Amino acid sequence: MKIRPVTSGSQALLEATQVELVCRDNRRVVADVTKSSWHKQQILLVLKGFEHINKIESFVGAEVYMAVDELPDLDEDSHYWHQLEGLQVVDKRAGKLGVLTSLLETGAHDVYVVEGPHGEVMFPAVAALITEIDLDRGVIQVDLPDGLVEVNE
């Protein structure tokens, strides 16, 4: 199976022992990974029971997931998206901005999208703006430049 990575962390699939395929029709299949490799900017997975092309064709366009407990450990100041999604975002001056709902990968740096009382607020996910991420409390503290919240309203 060829997988076109859509997130920067997709290479973690190379370490997966099992994946879940979620088809466009919401059909779900769990399969053991027997071999994995990186080839021409794609991940190649051989799945037990799906060694022949005719068995895998119905999964074209499927999303591929791996178990959270198989994800590689990150540096202390790094987080996976599933850890951040849904956290409350609080700005030093504007107060509660809302809930982190989306992540836009722009190439230069990621952009966080927050939905809340100020509408949709977007800001670059850079250390200069993020003062603290507290997963236990479910809060991301930020110090956004003056006017950024108002520009998004």
Per-residue pLDDT of the chain (153 residues; tens, 9 = 90+): 888 877 767 788 888 999 999 988 889 999 999 999 998 889 999 999 988 888 888 888 899 999 888 888 888 888 888 899 999 999 999 999 999 999 998 888 899 999 999 899 999 999 999 999 999 999 999 999 988 887 665
Q: Which of 152, 148, 132, 128 is nearest to 140 (CA)?
A: 132
| Same domain, residue pair 8 and 46 | yes
Give the SS3 label for residue 19: strand
Q: Is residue 75 part of a domain?
A: no
CA distances from 3 to 11, 58, 102, 119 (A): 10, 14, 22, 35
Q: In the 8-state DSSP scheme, what is residue 152?
A: H
| Same domain, residue pair 6 and 57 | yes
Domain boundary among 25, 51, 70: 70
Give the SS3 label for residue 56: helix
- The CATH number assigned to the domain holding 38 equals 2.40.30.60
> What pLDDT score was predicted for residue 10?
79
Q: Is residue 92 part of a domain?
A: yes
Phi, psi of 128 (to 5 degrees): -65, -25
Beta strands in the chain (DSSP E): 2-3, 18-22, 28-39, 42-47, 63-66, 88-91, 95-105, 110-116, 119-124, 130-134, 139-142
CA distances from 65 to 82, 89, 152 (A): 12, 27, 33
Tokens of residue 61, six digits: 């366009």
pTM: 0.75
Work out how many domains the chain is built from and give that number. Answer: 2
| Same domain, residue pair 56 and 87 | no
| Same domain, residue pair 13 and 53 | yes
Give the SS3 label for residue 17: coil
**What are the DSSP calls for 84-111, one per residue?**
HTT-EEEETTTEEEEEEEEEEE-SSSEE
- The CATH number assigned to the domain holding 110 equals 2.30.30.240
Domain boundary among 70, 89, 108: 70
Q: Is residue 122 part of a domain?
A: yes
Distance of CA 120 to the CA centre of its chain: 19
Q: Is residue 76 part of a domain?
A: no
| Same domain, residue pair 113 and 91 | yes
Q: How far is residue 67's CA from residue 51's CA, in Å, rounded to a whole number?
A: 22
